[in-house]
Structure 1
Amino acid sequence: MVDELVPEEKPSRSHLNLVVLAFVIFLESALLFGALAYLIFELGSETPQSYPSAIALTVLTALAAIWVAVIGIGVLRGQAWIRGAAVVWQVLQISVAIGSFQGIFARPDIGWLLLLPAIAVLILLFTKPVLEATTRREG
């Protein structure tokens, strides 16, 4: 009888792991918006070899920046769908990071800047507080 009167304790949506996860994802989004601004500037100031390719790259960067920001908002709201979306984005980011370490035009600095936050997000996504905060509860 007493157990029925005590409300079920819900995981805190302000846990440090959740806040750090949201911060890193919003940081990724901000950097994508910075890349978008650079691409728009370049599109207006330089002549690309292919306008359709330049425009497509700019549009895809805009969509990615918006999507990553939406994931960050979902993290703050404790939405369950963000785990899958964040994993997909981090895997894509890791793929680009690995490519940045290789080839004639290798840029290890960019590779590390992409790889480290992606690994941090993947680790944070599977911590107990984040899993509890982003698990769909029926009721």
Structure 2
Amino acid sequence: MSRPQDSTAPTSRPAAVNLISAILVLEALGLLAVAGWYVYNLLTATATSLGGAIFSLILILAVAAWLLVVGHFFFRGMRWTRAAALVWQLFMVAIAVPTLQGGVVLVGLLLLLPPAAILLLLFTKPVIAWTSRTNSEPKTY
């Protein structure tokens, strides 16, 4: 038995999906760079709480790995990745706004512009259609 074909589903990947996936991967690489800088500081300076510092490092690495997974599966068109990308971008906005208000404008803008782009593109029709395709076999992952 075949499934009915959805004529509104796109056949090729929209450019917005490529851009969102690239930004998610760049954010993950940025977190990995922060983790490397964090390890360097752990090795060269004395931490107030070594356990807390190691926990923070593990958390940074886990979030970076998760963002790589989300970026990869968003590129492939998985539906669940929209929610994961949305939640991370809201966290980024929650960090960027106080940074801007604290007077660190360049860092604040670097933290605010990628989430703003993703939040704008995430709800466009081509992106929603790409991640909601019903014309192919169901994906079980």
TM-score normalised by the chain length of structure 2: 0.85
For 1:57, the equivalent position in structure 2 comes to 56
Q: 1:117 aligns with which of 114, 117, 141?
A: 114
Unpaired stretches in structure 1, ≥5 consecutive residues: 1-6
Letter in 2 for 1:98: V
Distance 1:43 1:133, change over 3 A: same
Shift of 1:109: 1.3
Shift of 1:26: 0.8
For 2:68, the equivalent position in structure 1 comes to 69
Shift of 1:13: 4.7
Unpaired stretches in structure 2, ≥5 consecutive residues: none
After the TM superposition, which parts of structure 1 deviate over 3 Å for at least 4 consecutive aligned residues? 7-10
Shift of 1:87: 0.6
8 Å Cα contact 1:13-1:78 kept in structure 2: no
8 Å Cα contact 2:77-2:131 kept in structure 1: yes
Distance 1:24 1:12 in 2: 23
For 2:40, the equivalent position in structure 1 comes to 41
Q: What RMSD, in angstroms, separates the aligned Cα atoms of the two structures?
A: 2.1
How high is the sequence identity, in percent, across the aligned residues?
Answer: 33
Whose RCO is larger (CA < 8 A, sep 6+)? 2
Distance 1:108 1:87, change over 3 A: same
8 Å Cα contact 2:24-2:70 kept in structure 1: yes
For 1:92, the equivalent position in structure 2 comes to 91
SS of residue matched to 1:137: coil
8 Å Cα contact 2:6-2:134 kept in structure 1: no
For 1:132, the equivalent position in structure 2 comes to 129
For 1:20, the equivalent position in structure 2 comes to 19
SS of residue matched to 1:121: helix
